[in-house]
Chains A and B, each alone.
Chain A
Amino acid sequence: MIALGWTCASTGVPAPLTLADAGRLRVILAPKDHCNSPRARLALAQACFEAGVDFVPLSATGAVTAATAKRIARSCAQDVQAQMAQISGAGQLLISVALAHSPPPAPTPTTGRAWLQARKNHLSMINKRVRDAHVTLDALTTPLPYPCTAGQETPVTCTRAVLVPRGDVAAARTVLQGLGSRLHPDPALRVDITGLWPAFGFVKRPEPDTVAYA
């Protein structure tokens, strides 16, 4: 069995998921043959979240065994419960700003100097794109009354997560549409807002308990 996260819930996980006791917490488990890829694990975590179960999600990139997850639940129960309290009743909207289309190909440099200049121009373009993306993300997330992650970057995308209570999703989307309507269109950028996902961006590896519990 593969662990998807930890929860305080005692029921409610959708099939084929099950719950395993681990002291004060429970581990959400999935059969191995149902989660043999990161996408499959993400889909199962999403199904659990949409069933109304609040949980501290494990990263979908790793296949954590049930035994490891139970051991962490028993040794880090305090921190996991504290993280649960922070994200209880909420999930994340993911706001992603990406390059809308590929830039036209540059002429092939014929000299070393030209190659270096072309590379410098390319890096300058990427840096400007990242700055523009952050400006857009700031404009969309700063006015929101919800916690927001600092975000992550690749050369072509900038992404931030916003922690939104389950009942506020429609209102949050409406607010975001309103904020977007005040921004100038930028044909070089594409903005995608997806969710509500489990609060992947608002959890971290639990710390061991400072007080031993019997």
Chain B
Amino acid sequence: MSLELHMASPDDVLRAPDKSLADLIDGLLNHGVVIRGELWLTVADIDLVFLGVDLVLASPDKMHAERSGA
């Protein structure tokens, strides 16, 4: 008796109805180049407005308070 290794192709995983294989996708989704903290409003592939993540996540009340110097 030895340790059993389950081999599967990417197609097996992507089409798997079986939850255990589908869970393997989680091991891939968090990898690759991650672009965070950028939100560009674009029209026809032309960048119009850049919003930093801090502005995106700030509450309107906080932003208004900061602007008024409160």
Contacts and interface: CB of A to CB of B under 8 A. Distances in A.
Given A42-B25, A180-B2, A161 B14 contact: no
B34 to A, nearest CB: 5
Contacts of A159: 24, 27
Interface residues of A, number: 58
B62 interface: no
B26 interface: yes
Nearest to B38: A68
B68 interface: no
Interface residues of B, number: 35
Interface in B6-26: 6-10, 12-14, 20-21, 23-26
Interface string A39-75: 1001100100010000011111110111110011000
Chain B binding surface, main DSSP class? mixed
A62 B4 CA distance: 35
Given A71-B47, A157-B27, A204-B33, A193 B42 contact: no
B30 A185 contact: no
A7 interface: no
Contacts of A183: 2-3
Contact of A152 (B6, B8, B23, B27): B27
19 contacts: A1-B45, A5-B32, A5-B33, A56-B33, A58-B33, A61-B29, A61-B30, A61-B34, A62-B34, A68-B38, A154-B26, A157-B27, A176-B5, A177-B7, A184-B2, A191-B6, A194-B13, A195-B10, A204-B33
Interface of A: 1, 5, 38-39, 42-43, 46, 50, 56-62, 64-68, 71-72, 94, 96, 98, 136, 140, 152, 154, 157, 159, 161, 173, 176-177, 180-186, 189-198, 200-201, 203-206
Given A58-B35, A59-B32, A197-B10, 19 more contacts: A1-B45, A5-B32, A42-B29, A46-B10, A46-B14, A59-B33, A60-B32, A94-B28, A157-B26, A159-B27, A176-B5, A180-B2, A180-B3, A181-B2, A183-B2, A194-B21, A198-B32, A200-B32, A203-B32
- Which 4 pairs of residues, A with B, have the shortest CB-CB distance? A59-B32, A200-B31, A183-B3, A159-B27
